[in-house]
């Protein structure tokens, strides 16, 4: 691939330095002074790149690989060509993630208007009562409301809106066009472009003249190390708070309703919808386009397949799929039986398409 002007290569780390950072082992010390500049996939890795493999599926790609290092488990070392240095790791996937963050730190945060951008743009509006710690970056057309607080090292992207009284922690990235209202945000939080945090929850009561809007006076609490994807929406609570737990990662275009509480280190893929007052445990994984009904409790460590519909509480640690969501083995067995019935009907019709 041609030189990437958006994420240029690192000045360089020796393989020994990289291994020390990753807690990995250089398999052959004669390669320890080779310099690593970037990460790349196996099929196009070249001099200066580090890549990784998790299985033997990459064997064909290895034949043309010219990486300066490959991260792998000890069990796969034998399939690596002799000319490619090996970094041995018990968890190659995590080690590669660490390597990427180390070699491309600028890609781990929201991209600013320029790599040398700093301070408060004269084209931004910062209310005089707002309190900013040192080294805060405010890009053009951003708006910082009255009594807002922004911690040291945080970046507010172009056109972003930080509402009155909002508190943003340290080393956060609030990307271009995002809005954060009625919220307290922890440290090291990333909020991507166009995300909407803290707007009204969807609450109405039927009345004789139509739908009556229910007041929404709660907050959104986002704990440390959370990442929220582009165009995701998180409603503030009705009277309690909407809470996103520490380390949780939410993909693009998800909808989190009012009073939802999500535990720590949970992963939510794109286009998931979670209705009001649902409780999602810690370590939960929710596949794309899944839906969780209101007031449902999903237990710690549960896994939901893409497209699942949750209308009953789910026990901790289970794997679920389908609509309504049920144990994944039951869902897959039902799917197999349905497909078999469809196949039998086609045979009876002489192979005609339905």
- Domain CATH code at residue 71: 3.40.1390.10
Q: What is the pLDDT of residue 111?
A: 64
Q: Are residues 102 and 133 in the same domain?
A: no
pTM for the whole structure? 0.89
pLDDT in tens, 285-340: 999 999 999 999 999 999 999 999 999 999 999 999 999 999 999 999 998 988 88
Average pLDDT over residues 190-201: 97
pLDDT in tens, 206-230: 999 999 999 999 999 999 999 999 9
- Evaluate whether residue 99 is within a structural domain: yes
First to last CA, the chain: 46
Q: Which residues contact 18 (CB under 8 A, 6 or more apart)?
A: 24, 36, 50, 69, 87, 99, 102
Q: Are residues 92 and 208 in the same domain?
A: no
- Evaluate whether residue 218 is within a structural domain: yes
Catalytic residue, chosen from 258, 265, 295, 297, is 258
Band of pLDDT at residue 116, cut at 50, 70 and 90: low
Band of pLDDT at residue 117, cut at 50, 70 and 90: low
Q: What is the pLDDT of residue 6?
A: 83
Q: Which residues contact 234 (CB under 8 A, 6 or more apart)?
A: 195, 196, 197, 198, 220, 222, 228, 242, 244, 256
What is the Cα–Cα distance from 259 to 240, expressed in whole angstroms? 6
What is the Cα–Cα distance from 270 to 286, expressed in whole angstroms? 9
Does pLDDT of 350 surpass 80? no
Look up the domain containing 86 and give its range.
13-108
Q: What is the pLDDT of residue 1?
A: 47
Length of the chain: 354
Q: Are residues 40 and 139 in the same domain?
A: no
Q: Phi and psi of 320, rounded to 5°?
A: -130, 155
Q: Judge whether 258 counts as a catalytic residue.
A: yes
Domain count within the chain: 2
């Amino acid at each position: 691939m041609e030189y990437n002007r958006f994420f240029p290569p690192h000045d360089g780390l020796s393989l020994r330095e990289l291994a020390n950072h990753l807690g990995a082992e250089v398999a052959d010390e004669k390669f320890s002074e080779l310099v690593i500049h970037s990460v790349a996939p196996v099929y196009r890795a070249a001099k200066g790149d580090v890549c990784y493999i998790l299985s033997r599926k990459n064997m064909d790609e290895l034949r043309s690989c010219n990486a300066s290092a490959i991260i792998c488990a000890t069990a796969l070392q034998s399939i690596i060509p002799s000319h490619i240095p090996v970094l041995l790791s018990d968890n190659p996937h995590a080690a590669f993630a660490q390597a990427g963050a180390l070699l491309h730190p600028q890609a781990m945060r929201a991209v600013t208007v320029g790599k040398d951008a700093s301070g408060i743009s004269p084209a931004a509006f910062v209310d005089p009562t707002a309190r900013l710690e040192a080294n805060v970056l405010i890009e053009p057309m951003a708006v910082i409301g009255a009594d807002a607080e922004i911690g040291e090292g945080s970046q507010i992207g172009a056109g972003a809106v930080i509402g009155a009284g909002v508190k943003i922690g340290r080393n956060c990235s609030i990307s271009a066009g995002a809005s954060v209202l009625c919220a307290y945000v922890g440290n090291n939080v990333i909020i991507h472009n166009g995300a909407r945090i803290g707007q009204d929850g969807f609450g109405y009561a039927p009345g004789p003249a139509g739908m009556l809007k229910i007041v929404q006076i709660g907050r959104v609490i986002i704990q440390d190390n959370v990442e929220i994807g582009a165009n995701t929406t998180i409603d503030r609570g009705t009277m309690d708070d909407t809470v996103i737990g520490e380390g949780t990662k939410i993909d693009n275009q998800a909808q989190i309703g009012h009073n939802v509480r999500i535990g720590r280190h949970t992963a939510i893929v794109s286009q998931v919808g979670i209705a009001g007052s649902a409780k999602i445990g810690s370590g939960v994984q929710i596949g794309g386009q899944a839906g969780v009904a209101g007031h449902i409790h999903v237990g710690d460590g549960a896994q939901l397949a893409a497209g699942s519909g949750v209308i009953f509480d789910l026990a901790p640690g289970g794997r679920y799929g389908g609509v309504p969501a049920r144990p994944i083995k039951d869902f897959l067995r039902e799917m197999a039986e349905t497909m078999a019935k469809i196949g039998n009907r086609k045979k009876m019709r002489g192979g005609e398409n339905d």
